[in-house]
Chain A
Amino acid sequence: MASRRAAPSDRPRLNAPALRLRGITKRFGSLVANDGISLDLGRGEVLALLGENGAGKSTLVSILFGHYLADEGAIEAFGAPLPPGQPKAALAAGIGMVHQHFTLADNLSVLDNVMLGTEPLWWPFSRRARARARLLDAAQRFGLQVNPDAQVGTLSVGERQRVEILKALTRGAKILILDEPTAVLTPQESESLFATLAQLVAAGLSVIFISHKLDEVLRVSHRIAVLRGGRLVADLPAAGADKAMLAEAMVGRAVPPATKHARAPGAPVVELRGGTVRGTGARPLLDGIDLELRAGEVFAVAGVAGNGQDVLAELLCGLHALDGGTLTIAGRALPARPRAFVEAGVARIPEDRHAVGVVGDLPLWENAVLERYASPAFSRHGIVRRELALAHAKSLVERFDVRGTESAGLATITRSLSGGNMQKLILGRALAGDPDTKSSPPLIVANQPTWGLDIGAVAYVHQQLLDACAQGSAVLLISEDLDEVFALADRIAVMHHGRLGAPKPAREWTLAAIGLAMAGGEEAAHAA
Chain B
Amino acid sequence: MLSETLDLLAAAPFWIAVLRIATPLILGTLGVLLCERAGVLNLGIEGIMVAGAFTGWLAVYQGAPLWAGVLAAAATGALFGLLHALLTVTLALSQHVAGLGITLLATSLASYAYRVSFPKVDSPPTVQTFTAMQGLPIPVLNAQTPLTLLALLLVPAIAWGLYRTPAGLALRMVGENPAAAEGQGLSVAGVRTAALVAGSALMGVAGAFLTLSAFNAFYFNMVNGRGWVCVALVVFASWRPGKALLGALLFAFFDALQLRLQQAGGGVFGIELPYQAYLMLPYAMAIVALVVVARRAAYPQALMKPYRKGER
The reply on B120 being an interface residue by CB < 8 A is no
The reply on B170 being an interface residue by CB < 8 A is yes
Contact B301 A121 (CB under 8 A): no
Contact B183 A105 (CB under 8 A): no
The reply on A113 being an interface residue by CB < 8 A is yes
Closest to A65 in B: B183
Residues of B within 8 Å of A86, CB to CB, are: 185
Closest to B170 in A: A121
The residue that A87 contacts in the complex, of B166, B170, B184, with Cβ under 8 A, is B184
Residues of A within 8 Å of B170, CB to CB, are: 116-117, 121
Q: Report how far A278 CA is from B46 CA in the complex, Å.
A: 44
The reply on B169 being an interface residue by CB < 8 A is yes
Residues of A within 8 Å of B180, CB to CB, are: 103-105, 113, 116
Closest to B310 in A: A68
Contact B182 A67 (CB under 8 A): yes
The reply on A352 being an interface residue by CB < 8 A is no
Residues of A within 8 Å of B179, CB to CB, are: 99, 101, 103
The residue that B185 contacts in the complex, of A91, A112, A123, A125, with Cβ under 8 A, is A91
Residues 16-56 of A at the B interface (beta carbon under 8 Å):
28
Closest to A127 in B: B166
Residues 61-85 of B at the A interface (beta carbon under 8 Å):
none
Residues 119-168 of B at the A interface (beta carbon under 8 Å):
164-167
Chain A min CB distance to B182 (Å): 6
Contact A125 B164 (CB under 8 A): yes
Q: What is the number of residues of chain A that contact chain B, defined by CB distance less than 8 Å?
A: 35
Contact A117:B186 (CB < 8 A) given known A108-B172, A108-B176: yes
Residues of B within 8 Å of A125, CB to CB, are: 164-165
Closest to B181 in A: A116
Closest to B311 in A: A28
The reply on A126 being an interface residue by CB < 8 A is yes
Closest to B179 in A: A103
Contact B165 A124 (CB under 8 A): yes
Chain A min CB distance to B179 (Å): 5
Q: Report how far A103 CA is from B182 CA in the complex, Å.
A: 9
Q: Report how far A241 CA is from B179 CA in the complex, Å.
A: 37
Contact B301 A167 (CB under 8 A): no
Contact B172 A67 (CB under 8 A): no
Give the one of B172, B185, B186, B312 with max A CB within 10 A.
Answer: B185
Chain A min CB distance to B245 (Å): 22
The residue that B167 contacts in the complex, of A99, A107, A121, with Cβ under 8 A, is A121
Contact B165 A107 (CB under 8 A): no
Contact B169 A126 (CB under 8 A): yes
The reply on B173 being an interface residue by CB < 8 A is yes
Contact A116:B186 (CB < 8 A) given known A105-B173, A108-B172, A121-B170: yes
Closest to A106 in B: B301
The reply on A189 being an interface residue by CB < 8 A is no
Q: Report how far A514 CA is from B57 CA in the complex, Å.
A: 74
Q: Report how far A99 CA is from B309 CA in the complex, Å.
A: 15
The reply on B258 being an interface residue by CB < 8 A is no
The reply on B298 being an interface residue by CB < 8 A is yes
Residues of A within 8 Å of B184, CB to CB, are: 87, 91, 116-118, 167
The reply on B90 being an interface residue by CB < 8 A is no
Contact A103 B164 (CB under 8 A): no
The residue that B183 contacts in the complex, of A99, A121, A126, with Cβ under 8 A, is A99
Instruction: Provide 27 A-B residue pairs closer than 8 Å at the C-beta atoms, listed in order of the A residue.
Output: A62-B310, A67-B309, A69-B310, A87-B184, A88-B185, A88-B186, A91-B185, A92-B185, A97-B183, A99-B183, A103-B180, A104-B180, A105-B176, A105-B301, A107-B176, A107-B301, A108-B172, A112-B169, A113-B180, A116-B170, A117-B185, A119-B166, A123-B166, A124-B165, A126-B164, A126-B165, A167-B184
- A87-B184, A112-B173 are known contacts; what are 14 more A-B pairs with Cβ within 8 Å? A62-B310, A87-B183, A88-B185, A92-B185, A101-B179, A103-B177, A103-B183, A104-B180, A105-B173, A105-B176, A105-B180, A116-B184, A116-B186, A118-B184
The 7 A-B residue pairs with the shortest CB-CB distance in the complex, in nearest-first order: A117-B184, A105-B176, A88-B185, A103-B180, A119-B166, A105-B177, A103-B183
